[in-house]
Structure 1
Amino acid sequence: MRALVTYLALAFGLSWLVALPLWLGDGLDSPSLTVVAIGMMATPAIAAVVVARFVERRPVARALGIVPVRPWGRTFLWAAIAVVVPIALVLVALAVAAALGLYQTDLREFSGFREILDTQLAAAGGVEAAGLPLEVLVALQLVNVVIGTFINLVPALGEEAGWRGWLLPHLAGRLPMWGAVVASGVIWGLWHAPLVLLGYNYPTASPLVALACMVGSCTVLGAVFAWLRLRSGNVWAPALAHGAVNAAGGTYLLFAQAGTTVDTTQVTVLGWTGWIVPVVLIAVLAATGQFRARPEPDTDAVPRPEPVPSAGP
């Protein structure tokens, strides 16, 4: 229990400390927003390193799920799955919202994307977009999602080494697996409070509604990331999946109709319509036993979640 309390105190305390300049300054309008957001993403890993090293006195790399990575074939297979599945879930979420009439799309003229481009080009002094057709620019944005997934891997690892690397196995040693999956997702969602309460991700919602939606989306996505963690045996797959979701998160701007406002409490993978397909996927995975941890036949196998000895009572 001491390890868990220490971890949560550090992860939450450091995140609020890093975000404090936004609260004391211009909020999300601050030019330091990107730096603050990336700094926050490192806090779960920092907390996990401190707890593993000084409270549990375990090897840090294994405690955070950085290793094992062998067999390499399995790691690469799950890395590929971790890129494809989250991007698909983000795009399918838009289709679901459109089918329900909550997301107005323009898939012929891409008027919303054109509007954004015109605004950006005007701000840059009317620079031409290299004479490329709009459809090509949209395709390039989708390619950038894949590239961005790997760029985002580093900051995403800062979160996943904590949430799915250290926290999920720790909770799984004390709770039923489903309890551990849900609890780790709820904790992950609440951890976003320093930014979400300022309007991050949900600019049109009240702070409490925004935080509730963030907890919901993190619980759903966290279950998908937990599946990747348990089946791959390390944290690299969920880190890639996290990076993929972040990279694909803005794709709703590509397909939106000009002049419409997207309510992210209802639309995108952050809103309730975006949780429908992932919940179905999670149910299928659960029914087929995909949330069982792999056995550990040797030193290169995946550790089975077990109670982690605490240094305190």
Structure 2
Amino acid sequence: MSGRDLRPIGVFTALAFSLAWLFALPLWFGDGLASPWFTPVATATMMTPAIAALVVVFFVERPQQKAWTLGLWPLRPVRRLLVYSALGIFVSIALVLVALPVGALLGVYPADFTNFSAFQQALDEQAGTAGAAQIPIPIGALIALQIALLPLAAFINLIPALGEELGWRGWLLPKLMPLGTLPALLVSGVIWGLWHAPLILLGYNYPDAPGTLGLTAMVAMCVLIGAVFGWLRLRSGSVWPAALAHAAFNGAGGTYLLFAAAGEHIDTTQATVLGWSGWIVPLALVVVLIATGQFSSAKHPSTPPSKKGASSSTSGDGTSGP
């Protein structure tokens, strides 16, 4: 990788990190995660990788095909884009959900898959506070409905998720591809994980862990999940499947509360997809993807095609599979 490539990567990384810390300052000098400004601050922070990528693309690199460089365009071949978008949504939800029985089997997630006692307790407390009658739906049916609606989160959360993915997988991962696919996935995952520091060090995601342990866990999780998102980006040639996967992943993140046992403590360094027990299945998935050549045969969107090449490839891709 040449110095010409390193300069925009350095500018992008410095800008994304600096803006994340700048946006988080009201929390650090205020009430931290208890601040009423937490949600807007966290949402704004998610936009900083996109801001950094746009600055680099428009003012540092200035390529002719800017939307292509960011992975926003073209939206074809349509079938491939739709297939990988659907895979991103459902694989992300599956990775979040499967972490729960795995954690239960390993004794680190206090599960109640029969009575859903923690969720029932939350419903009872909410009904008591509001002075309302209990919901006339069996709790099992209510949970099934919430799980069935999870794919909608991919579209509800798409804009903030795209704020991250436009930077991490849209722009950064292809720029790192000269290092080789696996090093590029590793480096981009570490950068993504460390970028979370302003909130993780305040106790976000890992409220019971020392800051350094929480940040280390976040980096490990981001490397594994980032490899899955990176596979979607490289195979589809587009940032949209990765953005939908990220949005679905965030939307499913709170499902561990549905299946927990009432009154039990959940250590997120060990349980849920945030903890080590939740990394087992994503690691196995990444190993399978590597072993089956899913990364080596992926499309590497490192340089945009010429107009002549794009025309000829379009006619061939129009009927190609994912």
Q: TM-score range by the shorter chain?
A: over 0.9
User: Which residue number in structure 2 is paired with residue 32 of structure 1?
Assistant: 37
C-alpha separation between the residues in 1 aligned to 2:273 and 2:312? 35
Contact in 2 for aligned 1:252/1:268 (Cα 8 Å):
yes
Contact in 2 for aligned 1:157/1:239 (Cα 8 Å):
yes
Q: CA RMSD in A?
A: 1.5
* 1:116 corresponds to which of 112, 115, 122: 122
Give unpaired runs (5+ residues) of structure 2: 1-5, 315-322
Residues 1:232 and 2:236 are matched in the alignment: yes
C-alpha separation between the residues in 1 aligned to 2:86 and 2:139? 29
C-alpha separation between the residues in 1 aligned to 2:294 and 2:284? 14
Residues 1:73 and 2:50 are matched in the alignment: no
Identity of aligned residues (%): 56
Deviation at 1:298, TM superposition (A): 2.4
Contact in 2 for aligned 1:186/1:219 (Cα 8 Å):
yes
Q: 1:13 to 1:204 in 2, by over 3 A?
A: same
* 1:159 corresponds to which of 164, 173, 177: 164
Q: 1:36 to 1:299 in 2, by over 3 A?
A: farther
C-alpha separation between the residues in 2 aligned to 1:112 and 1:275? 24
C-alpha separation between the residues in 2 aligned to 1:85 and 1:256? 22
Contact in 2 for aligned 1:70/1:301 (Cα 8 Å):
no
User: Which residue number in structure 2 is paired with residue 305 of structure 1?
Assistant: none
Residues 1:95 and 2:95 are matched in the alignment: no
* 2:284 corresponds to which of 267, 280, 283: 280
C-alpha separation between the residues in 2 aligned to 1:247 and 1:163? 19
Contact in 1 for aligned 2:124/2:134 (Cα 8 Å):
no
* 1:257 corresponds to which of 258, 261, 267: 261
Q: 1:148 to 1:300 in 2, by over 3 A?
A: farther
Contact in 2 for aligned 1:188/1:218 (Cα 8 Å):
yes
* 1:47 corresponds to which of 29, 40, 52: 52
Give unpaired runs (5+ residues) of structure 1: 303-313
Deviation at 1:23, TM superposition (A): 0.4
Deviations 1:133-184 (A, max 9, x none): 21122122212322112111111000001000000000113x1111100000
Contact in 2 for aligned 1:68/1:300 (Cα 8 Å):
no
C-alpha separation between the residues in 1 aligned to 2:96 and 2:194? 21
Q: Which residue type is aligned with residue 2 of structure 1?
A: R
Deviation at 1:269, TM superposition (A): 0.8
Q: Secondary structure at the match of 1:102?
A: coil
Deviations 1:168-227 (A, max 9, x none): 000113x11111000000000000001000010011111111000000100010000000
Residues 1:63 and 2:69 are matched in the alignment: yes
TM-score, with structure 2 as normaliser: 0.90
User: Which residue number in structure 2 is paired with residue 269 of structure 1?
Assistant: 273
C-alpha separation between the residues in 1 aligned to 2:225 and 2:182? 14
C-alpha separation between the residues in 1 aligned to 2:127 and 2:66? 47
Q: Which residue type is aligned with residue 230 of structure 1?
A: L
Q: Which residue type is aligned with residue 207 of structure 1?
A: G
* 2:113 corresponds to which of 107, 116, 124: 107
Contact in 1 for aligned 2:162/2:243 (Cα 8 Å):
yes
Runs (4+) of structure 1 exceeding 4 A deviation are: 299-302
Which stretch shows the higher mean deviation, 189-198 or 57-66?
57-66
User: Which residue number in structure 2 is paired with residue 310 of structure 1?
Assistant: none
Residues 1:4 and 2:16 are matched in the alignment: no
Residues 1:222 and 2:226 are matched in the alignment: yes
Deviations 1:94-123 (A, max 9, x none): 111011111121122110101111222333
C-alpha separation between the residues in 2 aligned to 1:228 and 1:151? 20
Residues 1:13 and 2:25 are matched in the alignment: no
Residues 1:190 and 2:202 are matched in the alignment: no
C-alpha separation between the residues in 2 aligned to 1:234 and 1:301? 16
Deviation at 1:261, TM superposition (A): 0.9
Q: Which residue type is aligned with residue 53 of structure 2?
A: A
Deviations 1:56-99 (A, max 9, x none): 01233112111121011111111111111111111111111011
Aligned residues: 300
